[in-house]
Amino acid sequence: MIPKSYIQALAKKNTRHDGRRFDEFRQPVTVEYGVSAKSAEGSAKVTMGDTVVVAGVKMEFGQTYPDTPDEGSIMVSAELLPLSSPEYEGGPPTIEAIELSRVVDRGIRESKALDFKKLCVRSGEKMWIVMIDIYPLNAAGNLFDAAALAAIAALKNARFPKVEDDKVIYKEPTDVPLPLSFMPVSCTVFKIGDKFLVDPTRDEELAADARLTVAFTEDGDICAMQKGGDKPLLQNEIFAMVDLASLRAAELRKSL
């Protein structure tokens, strides 16, 4: 492990332990579709440098919610597998896993990228629930951005399964994609000292004071945010971070 103080000292000197610029993502950034095509309705694997994350979509019928009788729904879960890092242990979802899944959920839900109305099967009765499960295979920093990218890629890859007599026939996929009108993409900016950087390694993450995750629509509008870390941010810092995130998110979008 690289000491926190060393990473902070490097940041002060405008450099990073792996020699990257502050606004530079680890390479390669790749998206592979259909990695669980036999089992999942949609799936994708995202690689960001050493970080590898998979996401899969399962579709199930459920009862519509009383407050939104004409809409379907999504459910996002993330599990920080002990397979992916010596830091993680088995057991119920940790608070880190819950925050990760909630931030990804909001990026998709609040952007209205997925048309929930079209996921309603019968008003007041039956809806599709789109269940997205996210797992790191190798957790080496910046899980937020990798997880959000994997989730949206899995949604893009997903096809409705066949329905017969109101039952889902999972082994027969159709060629109907999900009602995804565009793809929101997130970028997280980390603050170390008075410097801002993207795509941290795990050691950089542990040395950071605060982070800001910003999800963008295809037009560059902001559709979800989450501040993390226990140090405060000033208003002008937040706008600087949003600007940096916006540039990098546009870059990340190209890998989809």
Partner 1 sequence: MAYTRTDRALNELRPMEAKVGVIKNARGSAMFKIGKTIAYAAVYGPREMHPKFMQNVERGTLRCNYNMMAFSGSGNRVRPGPSRRSREIGLVTQNALAPVIDLTEYPKTVVDVFIELLQTDAGTRCAGICAASLALADAGFKMKDLVCAVSCGVVGDTPVVDLDYSEESYEGGAVDIPIAVIPRTGEITLLQLDGVLSKEQLQKAVTLAKHGIDKIYEVQKAALRAKFTGGK
Given the rule CB under 8 A, which residues bind partner 1?
A: 35-41, 43, 50, 52, 54, 56-58, 60, 77, 79, 81-86, 90, 92, 131, 133, 135, 137-140, 170-171
For partner 1, the closer CB: 66 or 92:
92
Q: Which is nearer to partner 1, 10 or 131 (CB)?
A: 131
Supply the minimum distance, in Å, between the C-beta of residue 55 and partner 1. 8
Rounded least distance, CB 40 to partner 1, Å:
4
Give the separation between CA 89 and CA 83, rounded to whole angstroms: 9
**For partner 1, which is the closer residue by CB, 165 or 219?**
165
CA distance 232 to 183: 30
Nearer to partner 1, 66 or 90 (CB): 90
Which secondary-structure segment (H or E) carries 164?
strand 159-164
Task: Name the minimum Å distance from CB 220 to partner 1.
Answer: 31
Closer residue to partner 1, CB minimum distance, 79 or 145 = 79
Locus of tokens 């997880």: 147
Q: How far is the CB of 95 from partner 1 (least distance, A)?
A: 16
Interatomic CA distance for residues 152 and 57, integer angstroms: 10
List, in sequence order, the alpha helices (H) in the chain: 4-12, 95-109, 143-157, 202-207, 235-253
Phi then psi dihedrals of residue 216, to 5 deg: -120, 145
In the complex, the smallest distance separating the C-beta of residue 180 from partner 1, rounded to whole angstroms, is: 17
- To the nearest 10°, report the CA torsion of 202, 203, 208, 211: -10
